[in-house]
Amino acid sequence: MVEKNPSIGGRAAQLSKTFPDLDCFACTLTPRMLEVDKHRNIRLLTYSEVKDVRRDGKIFKVRVLKKPRYVDETKCTGCGVCAQHCPVEVANDFDERIGVRNAIYVPFPNAVPQVYVIDKEHCLKCDLCQNVCTNKAVNLQQQPETIEVEVGAIIVTTGYNLFDPRRYEEYGFGKYDNVITGLTLERLLTPSGPTGGHVLRLSDGRIPQKVAFIQCVGPKGRDSSNLYCSKVCCMYATKMAELLKEQVPSADITIYYPDALAKGDGFDEFYERAKNEFGVKYQKAQVKEVVEKPARNLLLHLKNLESNKNIEDEVDMVVLSTGLVPAASGDFGGILSLKTGIGNFLEAVDSKKDSVTTNVEGVFVAGVAEAPKDIAKSMEQAHAAAMKASAVLEKLEKTNALPVKSSQ
């Protein structure tokens, strides 16, 4: 398994609870992450990137670049003393840059593997971590390493990035502190997050009493050639509205959506519960512009799509429900000669009957790399891809072509 970040877990590790059952997701994910790390048949290469894939007869030769952690993986015990002493403080990307980390860090407390990494760009080379590490694990001389692995099948699970909400200039993201993305709200809601699970305004720390969610902040509303729905935003907004209501029962929350709400198993009930039990308001409307008022409140200019009237709404906080864009499927499309479709997601041979097999024999796809979908569907697809890949491996094993297994 090749992971470009210092820890496995992906985007899902950033989430607090999942819809529609509001399960604690860390409770599902953490044991699985540890299982992967300890599994005797899985070789885990973190902080590594696939540079090149060549087909050699029935198998693939994959060239992986292992970036230097500057911490010896065989010596680091993950005790964290180095980070306690590190004087450098940097905004933590894992916390959507609200939280902080040190120049020597693990991205989040239950990261797997529990091996620290030095961010050389910010490191002052002050040697304090070297001095305090009793295992002598810090090694600033570490070099990038190229590893070649031979595999019989490949599963591409490169996931997604958030659509850049700066493309909707009229919503003021990046300009106004109190216009945040859904993922930022998620980090604020997470008990292990930077504020201990307390939602507050980034401008002044005030507890928001009136919150507006703006839906469909994605390629769908901006880019006519990329007409796809991200599928998860309606439900994640509903979920966060419920969690926020639990925390601040007096909060007045409206979800402004320009388009139909996405549907799935149990989603209707979840939506009805948010509306009827939690009092979350839903309004079909197109938000035209967000303007900051002197007290850092935000004035929304919008068009009610039911009455066709232009209206205004003043709120404390705006949450942009940003859509999903493929993280690296485009690159992998190139490296592996895979077909890409709408929005540059990887195309499976048949999105209805077989959404995991690609146009290249022995290469499979799962998760959002193939198309936007929720965690449950990503996991189902991953299981299907693993089964398909193991069938390929079994065939290769019978012909003695390959004894090892791997996936991306």
Residue ranges that bind another protein, judged by CB under 8 A: 84-85, 87-89, 98-100, 122-126, 128, 177, 194-196, 198, 200, 202-207, 209
Instruction: Tell me the torsion sign for CA atoms 247, 372, 167, 260.
Output: negative
The three-state (H, E, C) secondary structure of 88-147, written as one string: CEEECHHHCCCCEEECEECCCCCCCCCCCEECCCCCCCCCHHHHHCCCCCECCCCCCEEE
Which residue, 7 or 230, is less far from another protein as judged by CB? 7
Tokens read off for 75: 């010596």
Q: Compute the least distance from the CB of residue 130 to another protein, in Å.
A: 12
Instruction: Please tell me whether residue 17 adopts helix, strand or coil conformation.
Output: strand
Q: Compute the least distance from the CB of residue 223 to another protein, in Å.
A: 32
Rounded-to-integer distance, Cα 248 and Cα 252, Å: 9
Rounded-to-integer distance, Cα 364 and Cα 346, Å: 10
Q: Compute the least distance from the CB of residue 115 to another protein, in Å.
A: 20
Which residue, 20 or 208, is less far from another protein as judged by CB? 208
Which residue, 128 or 360, is less far from another protein as judged by CB? 128
- For residue 56, the tally of other CB atoms under 10 A from its CB is 8
Beta pairing class for 154-156 and 363-365: parallel
Q: Compute the least distance from the CB of residue 127 to another protein, in Å.
A: 8
| Residue given tokens 């690609």 in the structure block | 358
Q: Compute the least distance from the CB of residue 171 to another protein, in Å.
A: 19
Q: What is the largest CA-CA distance in the chain?
A: 73
Rounded-to-integer distance, Cα 113 and Cα 131, Å: 23
Q: Which amino acid is at 219?
A: P
Rounded-to-integer distance, Cα 105 and Cα 111, Å: 10
Q: Compute the least distance from the CB of residue 184 to another protein, in Å.
A: 13
Which residue, 201 or 388, is less far from another protein as judged by CB? 201
Q: Compute the least distance from the CB of residue 333 to another protein, in Å.
A: 38
Q: Compute the least distance from the CB of residue 91 to another protein, in Å.
A: 9
Nearest of 148, 159, 103 to residue 329 by alpha carbon: 159
Q: Compute the least distance from the CB of residue 84 to another protein, in Å.
A: 8
Which residue, 44 or 202, is less far from another protein as judged by CB? 202
End-to-end CA distance of the chain: 5
Which residue, 18 or 92, is less far from another protein as judged by CB? 92
Nearest of 50, 7, 22 to residue 328 by alpha carbon: 50
Which residue(s) pair with 281 in the sheet? 254
**Angle between the N-to-C axes of helices 182-189 and 233-247, in degrees from 0 to 180, rounded to the nearest 10:** 40
Which residue, 144 or 205, is less far from another protein as judged by CB? 205
Q: Compute the least distance from the CB of residue 322 to another protein, in Å.
A: 22
Which residue, 250 or 276, is less far from another protein as judged by CB? 250
Who's near 85: CB < 8 A, 6+ residues apart? 128, 129, 132
